[in-house]
């Protein structure tokens, strides 16, 4: 079966399942569950998959709201993971569009499941919760959840269309400074001020900014600043996010921030330590073969590539998956450019006619990417060579 025939079958199947997935999207949008608490949401998705013949492992990979769905005998040459996100943000709900992104992934899986024999590929649905906080895909990747896959893909919603958004690596740490408490008026000389150490660290990081590459970013806040003004602060903690476009450069930046903490501790005669506050997110590993296929698909669907490909998108745990197997994270426009993600306006757009059309288009992007690559042995080979080379 050639690509044109596969495409026709995909489009027909998408229409057959479309209404059911509109209902799922709208239901999840109306009942948002934050990271780590996606119990009802994951259950709804698993029940839908099971109703269409999927064998599901739930919970999966040591996470109570993760799952893995397999359709059929699972005995084909290639294996593909369709990544499915569904956690919401505190207070503002699905302002990152995961209700729609997750529904897109499910619709794509249902539309492609009956093509497994033609493509000689098993198409699995992997439920990946907790994207907004701890990045469950990071832990899942470390536990081997994506080992053995030949490709992983999902679609992220956005205010523009992009083939490959710029995803930064992200490391997050809690820096703790330990000093000595004393009466701030009666005997300040007996104290060692942990808050002063944190202040100096912030100043040092600010000074570091002028000597790093443009993609480097540092964000920090004081988590604990002391107990009372008349007590020299004994313990103060500061949380920092450190970002860069490259894994190796990120490690260099982490080392430099550590030196800022060490210097601050020396200057204030305090001690310091650090602990990770979340898993480290990797950047998205480039794959020119897969990106070229996505470009063809966007053109076939009449989707203008109107997003700013040079603008930093942020960070995602999908990057960690792309270091295990070829991974893709294209963006699909669902709002006007002046409505960014992580806003109430974006959340309010999740049940609009435009969002429902994006459900169709997003499922087509995923299913067509699978069909375009896995119906062509040369493309599969080239995609794997890109992965090994990069």
Q: Which residues touch 46 (CB under 8 Å, ≥6 apart)?
A: 56, 58, 67, 69, 127
Q: What is the pLDDT of residues 33-60, one digit of tens each?
A: 999 999 999 999 999 999 999 999 999 9
Confidence of residue 134 (pLDDT cuts 50, 70, 90): confident
Q: Which CATH number fits domain 174-276: 3.30.450.90, 3.30.1280.10, 1.20.210.10, 3.30.70.360?
A: 3.30.70.360
pLDDT at 184: 96
Provide, rounded to the nearest whole percent, the portion of the chain with pLDDT above 90: 98
pTM, full prediction: 0.93
Q: What are the two backbone dihedrals, phi and then psi, of residue 353, each rounded to the nearest 5 degrees?
A: -60, -35
Q: What is the pLDDT of residues 320-376, one digit of tens each?
A: 999 999 999 999 999 999 999 999 999 999 999 999 999 999 999 999 999 999 999
In CATH, the number for domain 3-167+282-389 is 3.40.630.10
Residue range 183-192: mean pLDDT, rounded = 97
Q: What is the pLDDT of residues 60-91, one digit of tens each?
A: 999 999 999 999 999 999 999 999 999 999 99
Q: What is the pLDDT of residues 84-119, one digit of tens each?
A: 999 999 999 999 999 999 999 999 999 999 999 999
d(Cα 84, Cα 60) in Å, to the nearest integer?
A: 13
**Domain spans of the chain, in order of start:** 3-167+282-389, 174-276
pLDDT at 311: 92
Confidence of residue 170 (pLDDT cuts 50, 70, 90): very high
Q: Which residues touch 161 (CB under 8 Å, ≥6 apart)?
A: 298, 303, 304, 305, 306, 307, 330, 331, 332, 333
Provide, rounded to the nearest whole percent, the portion of the chain with pLDDT above 70: 100
Farthest CA pair distance, the chain: 86
Confidence of residue 8 (pLDDT cuts 50, 70, 90): very high
pLDDT at 275: 98
Residue range 170-193: mean pLDDT, rounded = 97
Secondary structure, 3-state, 319-379? HHHCCCCCEECCEEECCCCCCCCCCHHHHHHHHCHHHHHHHHHHHHHHHHHHHHHHCCHHH
pLDDT at 263: 98
Q: To 10 degrees, what angle do helices 39-51 and 3-30 make? A: 140
Residue range 122-140: mean pLDDT, rounded = 95
Instruction: Evaluate whether 3-167+282-389 and 174-276 have a shared fold.
Output: no
């Amino acid at each position: 079966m050639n690509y044109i025939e596969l495409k026709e079958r995909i489009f027909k199947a998408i229409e057959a399942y479309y209404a059911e997935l509109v209902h799922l999207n709208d239901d999840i949008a109306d009942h948002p569950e934050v990271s780590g608490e996606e119990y009802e949401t994951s259950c709804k998705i698993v029940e839908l998959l099971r109703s269409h013949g999927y064998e599901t492992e739930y919970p999966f990979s040591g996470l109570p709201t993760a799952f893995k769905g397999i359709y059929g005998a699972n005995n084909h040459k290639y294996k593909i993971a369709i990544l499915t996100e569904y956690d919401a943000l505190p207070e503002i709900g699905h302002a990152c569009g995961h209700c729609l992104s997750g529904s897109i992934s499910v619709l794509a899986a249902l539309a492609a499941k009956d093509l497994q024999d033609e493509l000689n590929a098993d198409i699995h649905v992997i439920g990946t919760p907790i994207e907004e906080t701890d990045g469950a895909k990071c832990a899942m990747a470390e536990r081997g959840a994506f080992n053995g896959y030949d490709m992983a893909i999902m679609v992220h919603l956005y205010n523009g269309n992009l083939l490959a958004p710029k995803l930064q690596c992200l490391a997050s740490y809690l820096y703790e400074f330990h000093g000595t408490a004393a009466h701030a008026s009666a005997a300040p000389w007996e104290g060692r001020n942990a808050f002063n150490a944190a202040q100096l660290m912030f100043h040092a990081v600010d000074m570091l900014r002028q000597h790093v590459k443009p993609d480097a970013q540092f964000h920090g806040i004081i988590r604990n600043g002391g107990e009372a003004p008349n007590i020299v602060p004994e313990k103060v903690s500061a949380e920092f996010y450190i970002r860069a476009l490259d894994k190796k450069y990120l490690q260099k930046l982490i080392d430099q921030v550590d030196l800022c903490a060490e210097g601050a501790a020396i200057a204030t005669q305090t001690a310091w330590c650090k602990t990770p506050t979340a898993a480290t997110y990797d950047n998205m590993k480039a794959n020119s073969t897969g990106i070229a296929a996505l470009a063809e698909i966007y053109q076939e669907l009449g989707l203008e590539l109107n997003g700013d490909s040079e603008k930093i998108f942020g960070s995602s745990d999908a990057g960690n998956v792309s270091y295990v197997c070829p991974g893709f994270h294209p963006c699909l426009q669902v709002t006007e450019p002046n409505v960014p993600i992580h806003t109430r306006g974006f959340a309010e757009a999740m049940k609009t006619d435009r969002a429902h059309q994006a459900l169709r288009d997003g499922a087509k992007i995923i299913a067509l990417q699978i069909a375009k690559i896995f119906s062509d042995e040369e493309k599969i080979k080239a995609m794997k060579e890109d992965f090994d080379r990069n």
